[in-house]
Chains A and B, each alone.
Chain A
Amino acid sequence: GAGVSQSPSNKVTEKGKDVELRCDPISGHTALYWYRQSLGQGLEFLIYFQGNSAPDKSGLPSDRFSAERTGGSVSTLTIQRTQQEDSAVYLCASSLVMGSPEQFFGPGTRLTVL
């Protein structure tokens, strides 16, 4: 597929459990972003990766959130000790190069914390 893919599409978990969300960016895209959209809200920036540079983590809401990007391609967003307020759609986006404002989004992972 040519687009950004994310897995799982839906995740239901119990409060206090850890979850991992995966993103496969478009091949060749060097920049990768994570956003989340809570109910009735716009998309909220979480973290940004560009090549081998240190990621911009300025949007992560707490230290329970972390992300890594292996080999400059696939990224995993991990949420530890999930809380109900973590329930949201988590969206991954990629862009061809830094300085290209157009970002291409995946379909998202809908996370529900019970």
Chain B
Amino acid sequence: DQQVKQNSPSLSVQEGRISILNCDYTNSMFDYFLWYKKYPAEGPTFLISISSIKDKNEDGRFTVFLNKSAKHLSLHIVPSQPGDSAVYFCAASSSGAGSYQLTFGKGTKLSVIP
């Protein structure tokens, strides 16, 4: 049973517009959420994170929103740039789990069209 779901396998956005990537989770024990970006043949790169005590975290062009009641988070990229084209993974962890293992979604491939 998938505990972290990214229901859109792909997304295409025009350069300069906003990209919105969505993620849903089912495990109410998750209290920390992260977004990773992955280019082909490279490992995932940490992008931005949010603790469950917050509902928004912003870092430059990237903003993550968390809606705990809906068990939903989203990543906003604005303005989108061609270099943002990559696969984005949503991940979650539980401080109560001890090992801080990350549970990942299957990823959304973002294509930013020049």
Contacts and interface: CB of A to CB of B under 8 A. Distances in A.
Interface of A: 4, 31, 33, 35, 40-45, 48, 50, 56, 58-59, 91, 93, 95, 98-108
Contacts of A31: 100
Contacts of A99: 95, 100
A105 B45 contact: yes
Given A101-B49, A105-B44, A106-B43, A56 B106 contact: no
B49 A41 contact: no
Interface-central residue, A35, A40, A50, A101, by most chain B CB under 10 Å:
A101
Q: Which 6 A-B pairs have the closest CB atoms?
A: A105-B43, A42-B104, A56-B99, A43-B104, A48-B99, A45-B101
B98 A103 contact: no
A56 B100 CA distance: 10
Question: What band does the interface of chain B fall in when counting residues whose beta carbon is under 8 Å from A?
Answer: 20 to 34
A42 B43 contact: no
A93 B42 CA distance: 12
A106 to B, nearest CB: 5
A75 to B, nearest CB: 15
B46 A40 contact: no
Interface of B: 4, 6, 32, 34, 36, 41-46, 49, 89, 91, 93, 95, 98-107
Nearest to B44: A105
Given A42-B106, A101-B32, A91 B43 contact: yes
A108 B38 CA distance: 12
Contact of A42 (B49, B89, B98): B89
B49 to A, nearest CB: 6
Given A4-B43, A42-B6, A105-B43, 13 more contacts: A33-B101, A42-B104, A43-B44, A43-B104, A45-B102, A48-B101, A56-B98, A56-B99, A58-B99, A99-B95, A101-B34, A104-B46, A108-B43
